[in-house]
């Protein structure tokens, strides 16, 4: 079961009708947390039917109720709490908010978070090039 603004989210009906992705944080029984994003609906464009001029848009729901994160070892861990932080209308928005949340919390530098990188670009050694005042 997911929680959004204090309310249970068990199915797509409990999400905003325009929500295609959400940003979440899952806390596990070990006390560690994981921040990520999940695609819950996708929109496919199909050619128009015969006699019509407009393309069709078909929304497909994706399972998310048992989702536990995309990191290695997620399936072996037991989630204690699953919180939806943001509901988004686009992947771009979800990606931005996921990166912002990871940067704001400093998740890749803290041991109580299971996140190892941010967008495959920033890792825990990303600050190795920082020059400290005590070095000169």
pTM of the shown model: 0.85
For 98, the domain range is 2-114
CB 61 within 8 A of CB 55: no
pLDDT in tens, 38-78: 999 998 888 888 888 888 888 899 999 989 888 888 888 99
User: DSSP letter at 104?
Assistant: H
CB 4 within 8 A of CB 84: yes
User: Domains in the chain: how many in total?
Assistant: 1
In a domain, 96, yes or no: yes
Residue 26 CA to residue 49 CA, distance in Å, equals: 43
In a domain, 129, yes or no: no
pLDDT in tens, 18-35: 999 999 999 999 999 999
C-alpha closest to that of 64 among 39, 88, 94: 39
Supply 67's token pair.
């989702």
In a domain, 17, yes or no: yes
In a domain, 64, yes or no: yes
């Amino acid at each position: 079961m997911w929680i959004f603004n204090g309310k249970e989210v068990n199915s797509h009906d409990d999400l905003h009708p325009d929500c295609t992705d959400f940003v979440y944080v899952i806390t596990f029984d070990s006390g560690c947390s994981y921040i990520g994003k999940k695609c819950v609906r996708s929109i496919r464009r199909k050619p128009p039917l015969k006699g019509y001029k407009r393309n069709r848009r078909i929304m497909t729901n994706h399972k998310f109720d048992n989702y536990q994160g995309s990191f290695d070892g997620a399936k072996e861990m037991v989630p204690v709490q699953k919180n939806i932080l943001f509901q988004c209308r686009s992947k771009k928005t979800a990606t931005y908010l996921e990166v912002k949340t990871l940067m704001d919390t400093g998740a890749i530098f803290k041991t109580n978070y299971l996140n190892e990188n941010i967008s495959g670009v920033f890792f825990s050694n990303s600050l190795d090039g920082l020059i400290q005042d005590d070095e000169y």
